[in-house]
Structure 1
């Protein structure tokens, strides 16, 4: 393979990986089109009101709000959809109308706290009992692991940038740096994506949770699912892993 093609292919893969990681980082920073479309995890609460009523035999009056501009975390009412990013989360009363929290570096993934902080206190008290002993309620576990995953993904993004820019310099040392950066970046993104995949998978247990198992079972009505940010992270890992090969070939064969 000609050296130009080799480096060109590696640079293209690194560029695609970096672009994907940028999209991952901008997910849910606001409600505009691109950030709104990208999230690491989603929680759909639209069925919870009916499940709650069936379980407690009380109406769900006041559980939800239709005012999408009201601040989050102020017990103003539950939203229908919650989407979580790396720096903040947003909540929507329908497919597009919503609001977001303030941006925080390494924002913790704590879906239970996010939901119950929007509920009136009497509802959140019930939820403590209904969701006891589930990973979904274990905010310390989810928050810690999501922060760890964030830093791995941040390091991976930085190293992907280093690999992209050093890989175009025709010098054996820079080819070595790009090779090493691409390999370590791929490993960091792999770890970050795997952690996110694992914690969301564990939270999915509430999708089939029976709130009243002794009475025939009432499913929780909350649906946790993967956000497309996780898939983008896995795709970025694949691109970086693939880019390491031509970078390595160039490093080993370049004669300057």
Structure 2
């Protein structure tokens, strides 16, 4: 969000731009008291930062919905809300129902996948054919859940990244809108968990068929 001020300034020029951002890291979120420089969204909450480290996080809740547009317009002053709505209209970034519903569903898929992975590990410790067979089944279910959950999040982020290419201002000298959506480390960890759990299927299957303890 660091470049959004330039995009807004190009839109309202020659009128001056004041008060878009807050510099106070302790300012409450979603109270229309000022935009932050950076926003990070996760499975349980979202955080907003005035610089690389100083900021606040929203209340944690299971199945937190990925709704970036609602988060930023909730922070910015009311006079910038209508401008942002017009500038971002038509992009997936503003489709809070679509993003919220699918991210909420992906949360539960990832949760189920994580639980299955943990149970597969525990049952795999049991030196018994039934235990190894159970681990194989749990690992397979967990892999499918993680695959679908990570795939949903990947699609959601890729679609919201369309906002990265928006420009504003006169056609002769367009200016980037200044919102840059990127993939965070959590999604890469999710894909890594899927790959690891899927790879564990082979030894689980082999030992469940060959163990004679």
What TM-score bracket applies, with the shorter chain setting the length? over 0.9
1:59 is displaced (CA, Å) by 2.6
User: Which residues of structure 1 form unaligned runs of 5+?
Assistant: 1-44
Task: Name which of structure 1's ranges 63-72 and 204-213 shifts more when overlaid on structure 2.
Answer: 204-213
> Which structure carries more relative contact order (alpha carbon 8 Å, separation 6+)?
1
1:219 is displaced (CA, Å) by 1.2
RMSD: 1.0
Superimposed CA distance per residue, residues 106-127 of structure 1 (whole angstroms, 9 cap, x where no aligned partner): 0000000000000111101111
SS of residue paired to 1:223: coil
Rounded to whole Å, the distance in 2 between the matches of 1:162 and 1:106 is 21
Of 131, 139, 149, 2:96 maps to 139
Residues 1:56 and 2:12 aligned together: yes
1:213 is displaced (CA, Å) by 6.5
1:215 is displaced (CA, Å) by 4.4
Q: Say whether the 8 Å CA contact 1:50–1:60 is kept in structure 2.
A: no
Map of 1:155 onto structure 2: 112
Q: How many residues align?
A: 212
The 5 A counterparts of 1:194-209 are 194-209=151-166
Map of 1:171 onto structure 2: 128
Describe the shift of the 1:78–1:253 C-alpha distance in structure 2 as closer, same or farther (beyond 3 A). Answer: same
Q: Say whether the 8 Å CA contact 1:87–1:104 is kept in structure 2.
A: yes
1:218 is displaced (CA, Å) by 2.0
1:56 is displaced (CA, Å) by 1.3
Map of 1:96 onto structure 2: 53
Describe the shift of the 1:207–1:213 C-alpha distance in structure 2 as closer, same or farther (beyond 3 A). Answer: farther
Residues 1:46 and 2:2 aligned together: yes
SS of residue paired to 1:67: coil
Query: Given the two structures, how large is their TM-score scaled by the length of structure 2?
Result: 0.97
Query: Given the two structures, how large is their TM-score scaled by the length of structure 1?
Result: 0.81
Residues 1:182 and 2:139 aligned together: yes
